Structure 1
């Protein structure tokens, strides 16, 4: 079967991949720093994800910014699934050195070692992100296929949140974003994920190692952090609802995301590691379905049976995208990937899981205050 290294393997996506690979007979090594923001102050007590894997894998507590940790982790490895990264588009806009250092620096260190030392690595799989697309692909009735640039503060301050045609300024219609779409990240996080993917494909090809990268959409499901205010809106909204706090919906609530269930992400990633024809490719991983934020908020309130005030405030964050959903044709064709979970079914499972967790402290307001102080929240 082979030996697999998963960096960030105690995280949400990584731990789920680790458990499935172990169940399939792979030998798994996990390299993870057990960041307090994700795992709490005492991971052996506070991190269910870490607890779920620690006795099933060879676990190395280490940092992707340290050569000696990489050298130890890479010993005898056949496949690398590189997920370790600082995540959070908003936070990345003011913790720039941290995001660039870990995401780009850590990836560069991996590749430097592979290029200059003996190893057994056959393939590197790296997580990019849908954030690299920025606003993604649209169609303008006059100009055809277009890629709107970042929305302007002056428009959004007047309640005009929709994207405009970058050529004629007219109305545009959302289209599924394909892997060959124009790349224009609107956050430091997005830039780092773009560079990670480019580095892996460029260097791996030059040294005879296969490479695959994934642009995950909004991943959710049982096990994701309910206490980290920089994670996805499903967790943020759930924690606020459970605390009886109202939901402040940004913009007009019609902004959309492609929510993909964790099991589908795990399946796609493992296919990317195993399928011979995947080498050299970039794949979108999503459902291909756009769901608006107001629908998400109301669905969660209904599922929890807790009706908190939902306020569509018109607030907005600079750098946020308006819409995005993935075109997953390429993953279907090459990997044989087909998402099994609809949003309705996935939310059902997520809510069931949240309902048996301890209610977490709601740190969301503090994260918003942090963004206000940096001039990123309006």
Structure 2
């Protein structure tokens, strides 16, 4: 039986991967440090058929022992949060970049024999998504919007050649990456370190560039997590979701069960030395996310999204996945549609603990000068 080591396997994404692997007959060991920002205790959803080691992926001795017993490494452990990464710089680089480097150092110098490595990467490393100029019918890769443009409330990108408003198009893996946060840089580091070292030592490796993941088990107490969880926490506490800009910015929201399946397919496929997008290919506006959650929680008569018309430094406007390479390399196609996925999130969320700490986190961003007003 193939033995898989899943780092971060007690977390939101990792725990779903563990369930997927065990359902498919794999032997799974999890290493997780149950970081306080996410877990206040051992989660009740842990799979009883997995072995759990409560420890830190930065612990060289521990990771050496665990890797020596593994056939496959599934590396999910990561510090998550774009805004927070901009003022907890050392922490994010240590937990993401350095820890991954240490794991790879162990694999190389302890001569760990692995059949495959799968590492969690992120669409955040792209910066802005891909665009098309409708006037010239050419692809454009605009940089971040400037502060003066944002202060003027000109939210959409304009063509640098003709001034026309650019149209977002699916973002392929070939798009130049312009990471706009410490978090994004550290995720790119995890991907590039893994692929580079595994290539050199002939270890098959796949990096999965996750788009915006949502679903059950995502902490509703963590204000630095995904927007679906943050909005859910606000709504459950009878507070309106606060939306930056005008709410029409779009992202690609993929259900966590699809992400778990993509990880298994990456392990089982012949794909090697490649990074692939894991998304749906369908953009959804942030305003639509907020409105959908309000309706599913049955609070449309009491709440409506609050459009802030201010902005966060480093935020992008649009980004959604081109899924062609995932289909070609992994045989992956998303199966959970947006409506069903959001219903699953809310059904779970009704009974989940939800401490709304958004205003505290927002105040931190303001204090650090990371929020601007138009």
Q: Distance in 2 between matches of 1:249 and 1:269?
A: 31
Residue of structure 1 aligned with 2:345, choices 334, 337, 350:
350
**Could you list the per-position Cα deviations for residues 33-64 of structure 1 after superposition, in whole angstroms to 9, with x for gaps in the alignment?**
11000111xx23xx334xx23x3222111112
CA RMSD of aligned residues (A): 1.3
Question: How much does 1:120 deviate?
Answer: 2.4
Equivalent position of 1:233 in the other structure: 227
Spell out the pairing of 1:106-117 with structure 2 (5 A cutoff).
Answer: 106-117=99-110
Residue aligning to 2:295? 302
Equivalent residues in 2 for 1:141-290 (5 A)? Answer: 141-142=135-136, 144-166=138-160, 169-276=163-270, 278-290=271-283
Q: How does 1:293-332 map to 2 (within 5 A)?
A: 293-307=286-300, 308-332=303-327
Structure 2 stretches of 5 or more lacking a match?
none
Residue 36 of structure 1 aligns to a residue whose secondary structure is coil
Change (3 A) 1:74 1:299: same
The DSSP-based 3-state class of the residue aligned with 2:242 is strand
Cα offset for 1:167?
5.0
Q: Secondary structure at the match of 1:4?
A: strand
Q: Distance in 2 between matches of 1:264 and 1:342?
A: 10
Count residues with an aligned counterpart: 369
Give structure 1 stretches of 5+ with no counterpart.
none
| CA distance in 2: counterparts of 1:20 and 1:287, whole angstroms | 19
Q: TM-score, normalised by structure 1?
A: 0.95
Runs of 4+ in 1 over 4 A off after TM superposition: 166-169
The C-alpha deviation readout for 1:21-42, integer Å capped at 9, x for no partner, is: 11221111111111000111xx
Q: Distance in 2 between matches of 1:97 and 1:230?
A: 17
Residue 5 of structure 1 aligns with which residue? 5
Cα distance 1:309–1:143, how it changes in 2: closer, same or farther (>3 A)? closer
Alpha carbons 2:129, 2:319 under 8 Å: kept: yes
Looking at structure 1, the residues matched to 230 and 83 of structure 2 have their Cα atoms a distance apart, in angstroms, of 14
Aligned twin of 1:37: 37
